[in-house]
Amino acid sequence: MNHRIYQNTVAFCLVAFAFFVSCKKKVDDGAATPDTSCYTDLALTSFADDLELGRRIDSQIVNTPAEFNILPKDKFPVAYGHLERITNIIKNSGKIANKDKLSWEVKIIYNDSTLNAFCTPGGYIYVYTGIIKYLDNEDDFAGVMGHEIAHADLRHSAKAMTRQYGIDLILSIVLGKNANSQLAQIASGLSSLSYSRCHETQADENSVGYLSGTQYKCNGAASFFQKIVDGGGPSQPQFLSTHPDPGNRVAKINAKAVSVGCQTTTPFADAKYQEFKNSLPR
């Protein structure tokens, strides 16, 4: 049997099984919505597929400047130096399960009005200038990066995209058989990709775990959500849409930090973070 046909057949069976389990859990638990559980927690693609999918989406993003105004690395070496330095500190925390399987390419999108960051399958991470400038210190930004790194490490992006678009379309993109319009649609929807609440909680908790192996305070992500609670932002970031209670996230992140017993008080490298923000276009 052709390998891809076999893979598609297996994928269909797994999707059907996942759907059955999720529906049963919904009935047994009395949940109001299946979004409260990790009901899609099955990886239907390989890591090689994830990398190829991420590469193709990245190419689409780079070639759509009207929607994704990527800052060129050669013109903003200081900004990229800081972004890569922060990413590498987290990456080398010793806590990332799939560190050596992902690409870990990071890019900056010039849009000061957008408080967001997102990742694709394969570990391609995109950060808007809006969220970099909005945050006050490097610990807080490291918390946000830890959250996105967790989505990549736990393969949440691949799982969410498979749920949203279907395994056939995802595999057709991996094989290069998709129409450009389909790839453009997927790229355009990445910044608002709908993760389950369970996946968002996992990403928050893993951010704490990753940062516990670094010099950063491990609950840095909580500071970002606390600022949203305090009304310090122009609007609610898109990635809060699946878990709209930032106050609840602050409490859970801080509780996780207490259970881990990691540092939660000392800001790290504020001067360097100011240099990072100052190196961005105004």
Answer for the pair 191, 130: CB distance below 8 angstroms, yes or no.
Answer: no
Q: Can you say whether residue 104 is alpha, beta or left, with left for phi > 0 and alpha for psi between -120 and 50 degrees? A: left
Count of domains observed in the chain: 1
Answer for the pair 193, 161: CB distance below 8 angstroms, yes or no.
Answer: yes
In a domain, 239, yes or no: yes
In a domain, 212, yes or no: yes
Q: Which domain holds residue 123?
A: 44-278
In a domain, 63, yes or no: yes
In a domain, 32, yes or no: no
In a domain, 23, yes or no: no
**How many angstroms separate the CA atoms of 39 and 25, rounded?**
8
Q: pTM (2 decimals)?
A: 0.82
In a domain, 12, yes or no: no
**Secondary structure of residue 45 in the 3-state scheme:** coil
In a domain, 31, yes or no: no
**How many angstroms separate the CA atoms of 193 and 196, rounded?**
10
Tens place of pLDDT for every residue, the chain, 282 residues? 454 444 444 444 443 333 333 333 333 333 333 344 565 456 677 889 999 999 999 999 999 999 999 999 999 999 999 999 999 999 999 999 999 999 999 999 999 999 999 999 999 999 999 999 999 999 999 999 999 999 999 999 888 888 888 888 888 888 888 667 788 888 988 877 778 788 889 999 999 999 999 999 999 999 888 888 887 544 555 555 545 578 788 999 999 999 999 989 876 658 999 999 999 999
In a domain, 77, yes or no: yes
